[in-house]
Amino acid sequence: MKVTRTAQKINMDNIVDISVDVHKDTLCFFFEIDGAEFSYTCSNRTTIIEKRLISYRDIALEHGRKGLRIICEPTGQFQNKLMRTARRLGFFTNYVNAESVAKFRVVESNDNNKTDKKDPRVINTLGKLNKVIRFRMIGEKYLMLRKLHKICDECDVAITSHRCRISKLLVELFCDYSFKKDFLYSNSGLALVAQYGCNPYRIVDDGYQIFCRKMRKAAPRIMSRTLERLWEDANSSVLNVLPPGYVQVLEQYLYDRLDDYFNVLERKEKITEQMVEILEKLRLDDPLIPPPTPHVISEKNLARLLAETGPLSDFANWRKLMRYAGLNLKTRQSGTYQGQNKISKKGRKLLRKVLQAIVLPLVKKGRLYGEFYHKKKDETKMPGNKAMTIVARHLLKKIFGWYRSGEAFDERRFFTCQSRYETMAKAA
């Protein structure tokens, strides 16, 4: 039996649309009621917003209306006070797409001028046409999860930045250092930092025997050829003859950079643990959330994914989830011209980033998407980034179906349509 959810429709004839152009310090209101127009500008401050919305509710009640719907563009964080106050007072809330406002402004006024008086009118017209976006209230746990994931992503960016700066600093301090960038963060590399601060002049001053003894004591499993290579790199680097005071500054800066790197790394690990704890609490409220599955998705990645999607129960079907992620397809066709299908990239950028990180290990040969991915690349000569996008779309759709089914992961079902799977099950 197929169950279809039908959204409850609201009679908007009894609701007054209040369109708002949001700025950092001010709000520009506009609405129409029974042929009369009302516009007002006030400070973007919670107490003032509350008084203004209550006064507009009183006007709506005087004209026989039952409530208000607040419509605005998402502008970073500046619209939050308005929308939260509106929801607290019991009003409806919706967003309008900023791109739609910009394009419709030209349609409505036949020019591309932008003013604080014009934008609320354009937003009001879009509201009348019901070209609005739902304002989601995702609950405390999902809010915490989303914010922690944002901080975690900032840590990832900071980690990359620190590693790039450390690599650049090594080029200056240890100019003939010939190892790859990951070596410095291994046990042998960290021993080099602890004993010599990656300073080739200190290495050469100690001599080869003392250098080997110190390094073997700090990293017992270091290989002899690694020690020989480091010694050769150090002897080559000292030929540049940098001033001792300048070398000391570079060495101290390297220590500081590495401290910052490891502090951010530790912070990221703690945040990840918090996200996993919140996910465990979410499972108590929603047992349909899939469990971590080896070689498919880990607990950490599942927490990251749900941080960006919010409750999967909010989406009526997988197509709406795809639009939310910005992975829905857009087409360009006119007459005999047929353009390429591309993803819209209009949804949550961080959700797409998480999906790419999840599918990256899954496309290796022998893994879940190995055959699927390499068939696209090798047989159809598809570019790798396009094939990765197809895999990301497929995985998001499957995770949504996995959630809705509430069943355990079944790899046989993963790449098989429902009718064929049922036929195979009966035959078995």
**Tens digit of each residue's pLDDT (9 = 90 or more) over 75-98:** 888 999 999 999 999 999 999 988
CATH of the domain at 51: 3.30.420.10
For residue 378, what pLDDT is reported? 84
Distance CA 230, CA 216 (A): 13
Would you call 34 helix, strand, or coil by DSSP?
coil
In a domain, 5, yes or no: no
Residue 31: its H or E element: strand 26-33
Please state, for a pLDDT cut of 70, what percent of the chain lies above it: 94
Distances 378 to 353, 361, 375 between C-alpha atoms, Å = 25, 18, 5
One domain for residues 421 and 294: yes
Q: Is the pLDDT of residue 399 over 60?
A: yes
pLDDT in tens, 20-39: 999 999 999 999 998 888 99
Residue 189: pLDDT band with limits 50, 70, 90? very high
Judge whether 131 lies within some domain.
yes
CB 83 within 8 A of CB 49: no
Q: pLDDT tens for residues 349-373?
A: 999 999 999 999 999 988 988 888 8
DSSP letter for each residue of 228-273 = HHHHHHHHHHGGG---HHHHHHHHHHHHHHHHHHHHHHHHHHHHHH
Q: Provide the pLDDT confidence category of residue 344 given band limits of 50, 70 and 90.
A: confident
* CA 191 to each of CA 196, 199, 221: distance values in angstroms, whole numbers, following the listed order: 8, 12, 11
3 state SS of 80: helix
Question: Does one domain contain both 261 and 294?
Answer: no
* CA–CA gap between residue 370 and residue 88 (Å, rounded): 49
pLDDT at 4 over 60: no
Whether residues 244 and 300 share a domain: the answer is no
Q: How many CB atoms lie within 10 A of CB 55?
A: 12
3-state secondary structure 261-326: HHHHHHHHHHHHHHHHHHHHHHHHHCCCCCCCECCCECHHHHHHHHHHHCCHHHCCCHHHHHHHHC
Q: Is residue 3 part of a domain?
A: no
241 with 330, same domain? Answer: no
> pLDDT band at residue 304, thresholds of 50, 70 and 90?
very high
d(CA 361, CA 381): 21
Q: Residue 142: left if φ>0, alpha if ψ -120 to 50, beta else—which one? A: alpha
229 located within any domain? yes
Residue 172 has a pLDDT of 92
Q: Find out whether 308 and 350 touch, Cβ atoms under 8 Å.
A: yes
pLDDT for position 426: 60
| Residue-level pLDDT at 428 | 55
Question: Is 30 in the same domain as 125?
Answer: yes
Q: Is residue 217 part of a domain?
A: yes
pLDDT tens digits, one per residue of 243-277? 999 999 999 999 999 999 999 999 999 999 999 99
Q: Which domain holds residue 371?
A: 290-427
Domain boundary among 207, 233, 267: 267
Q: Number of folded domains in the chain?
A: 3
Residues 341 and 372 in one domain: yes
Together in a domain, 378 and 300: yes
What pLDDT, on a 0 to 100 scale, did the predictor assign at position 6? Answer: 43
31 and 122 in a single domain? The answer is yes
Is the residue at 285 inside a domain? no
- 423 pLDDT more than 80: no
Which SS3 state, helix, strand or coil, does residue 103 take? helix
Judge whether 275 lies within some domain: no
Residues 380 and 321 in one domain: yes
Q: Final residue of a domain: which of 233, 267, 301?
A: 267
**pLDDT at residue 284, as a whole number:** 92
Q: Return the minimum-mean-pLDDT range out of 15-24, 51-60, 104-113, 278-287.
A: 104-113
Go through the chain and tell me how many residues it has. 428
Identify whether residues 181 and 298 lie together within a single domain: no
Q: Quote the pLDDT of residue 421.
A: 55
As a dihedral over the C-alpha atoms of residue 296, residue 146, residue 22, residue 326, rounded to 10 degrees, the angle is: 0
Q: Return the closest-CA partner of residue 81 out of 40, 55, 54, 47.
A: 47
Say yes or no to pLDDT of 5 above 50. Answer: no
- For residue 118, what is the enclosing H or E element? helix 118-128
Model confidence at 8, pLDDT cuts 50, 70, 90, reads very low
Same domain, 126 and 199: no
Q: Mean pLDDT score of the chain, rounded to an integer? A: 88
* 276 in any annotated domain: no
Q: Predicted confidence band at 374 (pLDDT cuts at 50, 70, 90)?
A: confident
What is the rounded distance in angstroms from the CA atom of residue 377 to the CA atom of residue 157? Answer: 30
The Cα-based distances of 121 to 116, 135, 180, 212, 306 in angstroms read: 9, 20, 58, 76, 36
Q: What is the pLDDT of residue 10?
A: 56
C-alpha to C-alpha distance for 79 and 84, rounded to whole angstroms: 9
Same domain? For 44 and 65 the reply is: yes
Residue 271's pLDDT is: 96
